A and B are shown apart, each in its own frame.
Chain A
Amino acid sequence: MGAYILRRLLIAIPSLLGISLILFVVLALAPGDPFGELAANPNVPPEVRAALRVKFGLDDPIFTRYLRWLWAMLHGDWGFSFASRVNVDTLILQRLPTTLFVVGSSQVLALLVAVPVGLYAARRPYSLADQVANTLAFVGFSLPTFFTGLLFILLFSIKLGWLPFVYQANLPGTGLAWAWENIRQAIMPVAVLGFFQAASYTRYVRASALDVARLDYVTTARAKGLTEGTVTRRHIARNALIPVVTLVALQIPAVFGGAIVTEQIFRIPGIGSLLIDAMLANDTPVVMAVTFVFAGLVVLFNLVADLLYGWLDPRIALR
């Protein structure tokens, strides 16, 4: 197991480096010179401009610049936000917990819906319940999050007036009422993201459970006289959910993409809305850092999924 963890870590590092390289190359290829304004200013003599360029190493080969940028990122020197006048890392650390809370609860909700529905659908493939579940799953992942979000606001906030549609990170107050307010404002964003993910997870769980249900040991369990419920819970589900971990990991980039949209709709102050705001304000350091944080989160959760996979299925770790 130790060797397996080490191997996974060693695979995660190059992919993080690869992603950072791609991001940096995109930035470097982009037109626009950080000293463009300086060049347009007639009061700055050309010598000063050239000296500044040398000082900041703008004329160095791209690889040297990449290494310097990477070194600064690793040291926590993420730059300074033009728009908010604070350090980028402070800004991101302020916003990150909200995003992780919303994304995390939506994933929990998605799995709570998808696992029972998928297992139930797989018990009788092509029955009416299975077809209903399958059709609903298709509808679920064909509904883009931005449209479901608007529909929810229209129904629950405007028509029924049950839920607030603007999310506030620091609500005033304490105690139970405060906790309830926090839950109330999180219901819609979490549900929008959660149901979208639940739709595709349901299909994974169903397909995986169907694969497992054909195996001999399931027949043995049935032949022992176990009830169908016990067979599903104790024998099918335990093995069917292992590949689902990997498929969930593959969905993580899409989950964070959905989080950006959801945060924008419900005005949640997370890093997704920070990204959009920074783009609209031309705040390049923030844009780069947030994109990098998203990439890092994706790699991190992929690593977690890999480790979980190794723990759930020891055959993987032994290979």
Chain B
Amino acid sequence: MAGSTLASPSVEAPPRPRAPASPGRETWRRFRRHRLALASVAVLAVLVGGVLFGGLIWPLAIDDIDFSAQLQGPSWAHPFGTDDLGQDLLARMIYGGRISLAVRFAAMAVASLIGVVVGALAGMSRRLLDPALMWLTDLFLSLPQLPLLLLVIYLFRDSLKAMFGVQGGVFFMIVAVIGGLRWMPVARLVRAQFLTLREKEFVEAARSQGATTGHLVRRHILPNALGPVIVAASIEVSAAIIAESTLSFLGLGFPPDIPTWGRLLFDAKDHLDVAPHWALFPGGAIFLTVLSINFIGDGLRDALDPRRVF
């Protein structure tokens, strides 16, 4: 990348000589330079905090049906308005947001875990395993993800619901499917990192002292490969948000009594003319979350890039 060695847009002060800082502090110092990323951390903190603790300060029930307050716009009683059954949208968004949040992080964890394992196996193997795994990765990359996601959900939803209950089944399935179809970028990244790192002198030194491959991977190679993986994982979160809300939006995600943000949009889309607020609040929330995560990922990429010296 040509741009990565140049100054970032927000640089103004020339670098001053300073005492050597710890890597974490150094990363933070670089991250702070990316103003939009910094602002995004604040926005994301407000969104996540609101979803996690909003239920404590906003006590209205999510299924409190009130036909005298159908499809009302924002007011003091209902800051985000109400839906066609007079249910309070703010309460529903707080509740649904919590589910969405859990789905995203679980899906991201699954995707990153599979990606790291596949990438590490491919990166450490010197024989047939590497080309085979990379062929598989390329194959998965060229799969049409949304149709496949829909297909898996279509085929497995009933049996999973029977196994884990409606809520648990859908949760488990969405996490597994998004995680299972999004691990490829992480795997490629980890493999590329492993291929360079395993030839480095410090790895050679550890090997010559009799370290096993497992020890090499855990203690020496993996910690050094994690920077880009963290960036990729943060991008995975925003991909998982879009995937989860798309499924809910198509009416194939969570059932109506679990109002995730995508599900709210799905319900709202037939009432756009009378109740635009119903679609705007959840849609705006999805947009803000994705945007801030993308900016944070961008800031992290700048901050963790070891080639940057200033």
Give the interface of A toward B (CB within 8 A): 15, 18-19, 22-23, 26-27, 30-32, 125-126, 130-131, 135, 138-139, 141-144, 146-147, 150-151, 153-154, 158, 207, 210-211, 213-214, 250, 253-254, 256-257, 260-261, 264-265, 275-276, 279-280, 287-288, 290-291, 294-295, 297-299, 302
Contact = CB atoms under 8 A, between A and B. Distances in A.
B269 A150 contact: yes
B69 to A, nearest CB: 22
Contacts of A146: 245-246, 249, 262, 265, 283
Contacts of A135: 36
B87 interface: no
Interface of B: 1-3, 6-9, 36, 138-139, 141-148, 150-152, 154-156, 158-159, 238, 242, 245-246, 249-252, 262, 265, 268-269, 272-273, 276, 279-280, 283, 286-287, 290-291, 294-295, 298
A138 B294 contact: yes
Which of B146, B152, B276 has the most CB atoms of chain A within a 10 A radius of its CB?
Answer: B146
19 contacts: A31-B155, A32-B158, A138-B291, A139-B291, A144-B242, A144-B286, A147-B283, A150-B268, A150-B283, A154-B276, A154-B279, A213-B2, A256-B147, A261-B146, A261-B249, A279-B150, A288-B151, A295-B148, A299-B142
B151 A210 contact: no
Q: A126, A139, A297: which has the most chain B beta carbons within 10 Å?
A: A126
A150 B271 CA distance: 11
A125 B6 contact: yes
A142 B252 CA distance: 22
Contact of A207 (B3, B144, B154, B251): B3
Nearest to B284: A147
A254 B155 CA distance: 22
Contacts of A256: 144, 146-147
Given A254-B145, A261-B246, A275 B2 contact: no
B154 to A, nearest CB: 5
A15 B139 CA distance: 6
Given A144-B242, A214-B2, A290 B147 contact: yes
B147 A31 contact: no
A87 B216 CA distance: 58
Nearest to B272: A154
A286 B250 CA distance: 17
Contact of B279 (A27, A150, A210): A150
Given A142-B294, A144-B242, 18 more contacts: A23-B148, A26-B155, A32-B158, A130-B9, A138-B36, A138-B294, A138-B298, A142-B291, A143-B290, A150-B283, A207-B3, A213-B2, A264-B250, A265-B269, A275-B147, A291-B144, A295-B148, A298-B142
